[in-house]
């Protein structure tokens, strides 16, 4: 189930993925480490038409701290 979250960097559609629903490996854009199968995490994308093409898988902690990242680092 996805929901819209309003953050200082815009509106995002966010889906929480349970460990049971995580069956592939992804790379978190927040820390550049792997999200291994079976690990609960977050999938997010900008809340605009075509934003789903920017969908990314994040560690839950990395997602919640992304707005604190320094300049020059992508936020998605």
The residues, any chain, with a CB within 8 Å of residue 2's CB and separated by 6 or more, are 13, 14, 15
Q: What is the pLDDT of residues 3-33, one digit of tens each?
A: 999 988 889 999 999 988 888 999 999 999 9
pTM of the model: 0.85
Strands (E), the chain: 2-7, 10-17, 26-27, 34-35, 41-46, 56-58
Q: Range with the lowest mean pLDDT among 1-5, 18-22, 32-36, 62-66?
A: 18-22
């Amino acid at each position: 189930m996805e929901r819209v979250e309003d953050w200082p960097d815009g509106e995002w559609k966010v889906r929480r993925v349970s460990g049971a629903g995580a069956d592939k490996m992804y790379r978190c854009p927040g820390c550049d480490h792997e999200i291994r199968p079976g690990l609960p995490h977050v999938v997010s994308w900008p809340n605009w038409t075509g934003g789903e093409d920017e969908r990314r898988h994040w560690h839950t902690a990395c997602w919640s701290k992304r707005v604190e990242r320094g300049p020059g680092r992508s936020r998605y």
